[in-house]
Structure 1
Amino acid sequence: MRDPDLVLDQIRARYHKNWRDWLLHGNEATFSFPLAAPSAQAIARDSDAVGPWMRVWRNWSHAHPAAQLRSATRRTVVGAQEIFTHLDLSTVDELVVLDRDLADHWLRAKSRWARLRTVPGGVAAERIRPYLQQIVDLDNADFEILLDAATWFTQNPRSGLTIRQVPVLGMHTKWLARNRRLVLACLNINQQASANIDQPEEDLEQDDLDPLGLKALPVHVHVILADPADRERVCGLRHVSAPLPEINALPVRPTTVLIVENKESAYLVPDQSGTVVIHSLGNHLNVLDEIGWLDGARHLYWGDLDRAGLTLLSRARTRLPRLVSVLMDPVTLEEHNALAVKDETRADTPDPNLTDIETAALAALSTDYDTHVRLEQERLPSPFVLDRLSRAMKNTGSAIDDRGSGSH
Structure 2
Amino acid sequence: MRHPDEVLEQIRTRYRKNWRDWLLHAGETAFSFPLGAANAQEIARESDTVGHWIRVWRNWSGKHPAAQLRTAIRRTVIGPQEIITHLDVPTIVDLVALDENLRDHWRRATARWARLVTLPGGLVTERVRPHLPQIIDLDETDFDILIKSVVWFTENPRSGLTIRQVPILGMHTKWLARHRRLILACLNIMENPHVSSDQPDEELEQHDLDPLGLKALPVHIDVILADPADRARVGGLRHLRAPLPEIDALPICPDTVMIVENKETAYLVPDQPRTVVIHSLGNHLNVLDNITWLHPARQLYWGDLDRAGFLLLSRARARLPHLASVLMDPHTLEEHKELAVEDKTQTDRPLPNLTDTETSTLDALSTEQGGHVRLEQERLPSPFVLNRLGRTR
Per-residue CA distance 1:285-331 (angstroms, 9 max, x = gap): 11111001113211111110111111111111111111111100000
TM-score under structure 1 length normalisation = 0.94
Tell me if structure 2 keeps the 8 A contact 1:27–1:92.
no
Per-residue CA distance 1:332-385 (angstroms, 9 max, x = gap): 000000000111111211122111111110111111132111100000000100
* 1:321 equivalent in structure 2: 321
The 2-side partners of 1:9 and 1:197 are apart by 35
Q: Secondary structure of 1:369's match?
A: coil
Asked if 1:287 corresponds to 2:287, the answer is yes
Deviation at 1:106, TM superposition (A): 0.3
Which residues in structure 2 correspond to 1:359-370 (within 5 Å)?
A: 359-370=359-370
* 2:354 equivalent in structure 1: 354
The 1-side partners of 2:303 and 2:197 are apart by 25
Asked if 1:309 corresponds to 2:332, the answer is no
* 1:229 equivalent in structure 2: 229
The 2-side partners of 1:259 and 1:197 are apart by 24
The 2-side partners of 1:213 and 1:81 are apart by 71
Moved more, 367-376 or 379-388: 367-376
The 2-side partners of 1:162 and 1:193 are apart by 21
Per-residue CA distance 1:208-257 (angstroms, 9 max, x = gap): 00100111111100000111111111111111001000000011111111
Tell me if structure 1 keeps the 8 A contact 2:192–2:211.
no
Asked if 1:260 corresponds to 2:260, the answer is yes
The 1-side partners of 2:166 and 2:194 are apart by 27
Asked if 1:177 corresponds to 2:177, the answer is yes
* 2:150 equivalent in structure 1: 150
* 1:402 equivalent in structure 2: none
* 2:339 equivalent in structure 1: 339
Q: 1:246 to 1:28 in 2, by over 3 A?
A: same
State the AA in 2 paired with 1:322. H
Q: 1:193 to 1:269 in 2, by over 3 A?
A: closer
Asked if 1:61 corresponds to 2:58, the answer is no
Q: Secondary structure of 1:14's match?
A: helix
State the AA in 1 paired with 2:100. R
* 1:140 equivalent in structure 2: 140
Which residues in structure 2 correspond to 1:97-136 (within 5 Å)?
A: 97-136=97-136
Which residues in structure 2 correspond to 1:13-24 (within 5 Å)?
A: 13-24=13-24
Deviation at 1:120, TM superposition (A): 0.4
Tell me if structure 1 keeps the 8 A contact 2:179–2:198.
no
State the AA in 1 paired with 2:141. A
Deviation at 1:193, TM superposition (A): 7.2
Deviation at 1:197, TM superposition (A): 4.2
Tell me if structure 2 keeps the 8 A contact 1:27–1:91.
no
Q: Secondary structure of 1:216's match?
A: coil
Per-residue CA distance 1:79-136 (angstroms, 9 max, x = gap): 2111111000111000000000000000000011101111101111111100000001
Q: 1:197 to 1:274 in 2, by over 3 A?
A: closer
Deviation at 1:173, TM superposition (A): 0.3
Q: 1:197 to 1:243 in 2, by over 3 A?
A: closer
Q: 1:141 to 1:14 in 2, by over 3 A?
A: same
Per-residue CA distance 1:34-85 (angstroms, 9 max, x = gap): 0111111111111111110010001000000110000111122222111111
TM-score under structure 2 length normalisation = 0.98
Q: Secondary structure of 2:310's match?
A: helix
Q: Percent identity between the aligned chains?
A: 71
Tell me if structure 2 keeps the 8 A contact 1:257–1:278.
yes
Q: 1:262 to 1:331 in 2, by over 3 A?
A: same
Consecutive unaligned residues of structure 1, counting only runs of 5 or more, are 395-408
